Amino acid sequence: MPTTPDLIVLHEHPEWQKPLFAALQRRGVAFEPFDVTRAAFSNTAPPRARLYFNQASPSAYLRGNTRAVPLALAYMRTLQQQGARVLNGADVFALELSKSVQATLLQTLGIDTPRSITFNEAAALRAHAHEITWPAVLKPDQGGSGARIEVVESIEQVEAIFRRDPSYWLPDNLFLLQEYLPHDPEQGIVRLEFLGGQLLYAMRVKTHGRFNLCPSPVCNPDDGDGICEIPAAVEAPPVEFFAYPEVPAAAVATAQRIVQAARLDVGGIEYLETPDGRRVFYDINANSNLRPSVAAEFGFDPFERVVDYLVAQLRA
């Protein structure tokens, strides 16, 4: 690796990064990976690169890399205080780490989003019983790869989940109880990928009842089984991803507002459509795992587009 790279990529899942690193190498970009899973940094050392690109993931704890998240956040905050440019930096990563803050951001933007109650003690939900409709979705504040998400029917069931396994609270000790929103399983949900504030592509995702909707072929391959370690996977057909060139312009415009408000450099926005006509946005992803097979239907390699963007940022 170069001793004075132009670009440093923070990451914790090397398999996810292989296509990006290969594209950077093909283009001759002087870059260096920085694996945040087992790392250290000095607060007196100046930034080594002109540009940093954060690809750390909230789901790191699922791969035994729980300490990667606080290290990445602290390192980016240090870099930014030192004046370094960090794409998808500390504030963006902090937003991705909190589904509660995401829900509040969407609410303040006037965008339809599921009603949510954030809690650190299941019994505390009883004070909000009048606000809850059942069934509801139980999900961790620090999300990632669909882990620890369940559809629940009562506060008693929520209490039983945490009583049965107190480690369920880990790693962040916060959960949300969120409005459950049905959608047409044949239509699935919609994910829009953005690069530099502009739509890269849109896709429909048929979930088949699964919650791990990671677009990376490493996690949800076009054929065979993925290698992502997601506990308690449901027995269901594999998740399916389809190009969605006819995505409504109004949905794209709403997602662009989210991207701008969140200050996402690269990221994915998800929404679903309910039978009663609501278009509900519910997820902001800063670590955008791109899906080559979907992008190919639009006629391009998504990682080459990311490298185009990174090269332009280096020249800016």
The one-digit pLDDT tens for each residue of the chain (316 residues) are 557 899 999 999 888 899 999 999 999 999 999 999 999 999 999 999 999 999 999 988 888 888 999 999 999 999 999 999 999 999 999 999 999 999 999 999 999 999 999 999 999 999 999 999 999 999 999 977 677 889 999 999 999 999 999 999 988 999 999 999 998 888 899 999 999 999 999 999 987 666 565 665 556 566 655 555 455 455 767 788 899 999 999 999 999 999 999 999 999 999 999 999 999 999 999 877 788 888 999 999 999 999 999 999 999 8
Quick: pLDDT tens for 260-282.
999 999 999 999 999 999 999 99
pLDDT at 229: 47
Find out whether 58 and 143 touch, Cβ atoms under 8 Å. Answer: yes
pLDDT at 55: 95
Find out whether 33 and 57 touch, Cβ atoms under 8 Å. Answer: no
Measured distance CA(140)–CA(177) in Å, rounded: 9
Put the strands of the sheet holding 189-195 in their side by side order. Answer: 240-243, 198-206, 189-195, 266-273, 279-285
Query: Could you tell me the domains of the chain?
Result: 7-96 (3.40.50.20), 115-179 (3.30.1490.20), 183-315 (3.30.470.20)
> What does the block give as tokens for 285?
């992803």
